[in-house]
């Protein structure tokens, strides 16, 4: 049974898919806590409506205090694996140490080619188009101190089609992400995919 915590800054699309699938009994997981840095994130409303405890941890005024509060909250809830679902803040050293290789993020591009600081959202898809790449996709990786740097857990590709724009490529990658994240968690939960030690 996966004991999950979520971090989301806005909508939390992957979080929603994961919670729904766990509710249907199709994923052996217990969603234990959803945290946002944004008090108005719709992800919080969704989590509350589905019985998942929520917490707002503001990160800008006191990053060190926020790091400690987030770490303590996740541990107190019994979280063993943290899922980033559109979380737009860098994690602090306490959380990263306590959950080394147990924090998963989905990046809307193939790593390491289309990652790094500043490479997020539309910028990734613009870079893929500009590079003339034949394929793009999404990468699930463990989070460490460097943007888009931690060990790659899984990758899924989509073709870059003739006439693609950043908009059309983004739409195709975004549509695939929640299901891909879910399938990866199912593989981890069933022991078909191992996380790094």
Closest listed residue to residue 141, CA positions, set 116, 176, 105: 105
Closest listed residue to residue 5, CA positions, set 60, 109, 87: 87
Cis peptide before 112 (omega within 30 of 0): yes
Residue 107 is a catalytic residue: yes
Instruction: Find where tokens 């990263």 sit.
Output: 96
As a whole number of angstroms, the distance between CA 33 and CA 51 comes to: 10
As a whole number of angstroms, the distance between CA 197 and CA 180 comes to: 22
Residue 49 has a CB neighbour count (10 Å cut-off) of: 9
As a whole number of angstroms, the distance between CA 123 and CA 181 comes to: 21
CA angle (91 as vertex; 87, 94 as ends), nearest 5: 145
Confirm if 55 and 22 have CB atoms less than 8 A apart: no
Strands 135-142 and 103-107: antiparallel
What SS3 state is found at 50?
coil
Catalytic annotation, pick one of 50, 107, 125, 149: 107
| Residues that are catalytic | 107
């Amino acid at each position: 049974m996966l004991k999950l915590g979520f971090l989301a800054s806005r909508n939390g699309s992957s979080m929603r898919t994961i919670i729904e699938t766990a509710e249907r009994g199709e994923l052996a997981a217990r969603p234990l806590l959803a945290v946002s840095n944004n008090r108005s994130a719709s992800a919080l409303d969704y989590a509350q409506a589905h019985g998942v405890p929520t917490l707002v941890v503001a990160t800008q005024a006191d990053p060190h205090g926020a790091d400690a509060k987030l770490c303590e909250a996740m541990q107190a809830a019994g979280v063993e694996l943290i899922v980033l679902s559109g979380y737009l803040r860098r994690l602090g050293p306490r959380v990263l140490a306590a959950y080394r290789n147990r924090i998963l993020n989905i990046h809307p591009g193939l790593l390491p080619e289309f990652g790094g600081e500043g490479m997020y959202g539309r910028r990734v898809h613009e870079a893929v188009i500009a590079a003339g790449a034949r394929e793009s996709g999404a990468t699930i990786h463990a989070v460490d101190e460097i943007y888009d740097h931690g060990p790659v857990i899984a990758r899924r590709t989509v073709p870059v089609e003739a006439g693609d724009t950043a908009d059309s490529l983004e739409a195709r990658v975004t549509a695939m992400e929640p299901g891909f994240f879910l399938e990866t968690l199912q593989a981890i939960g069933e022991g078909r995919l191992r996380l790094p030690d």
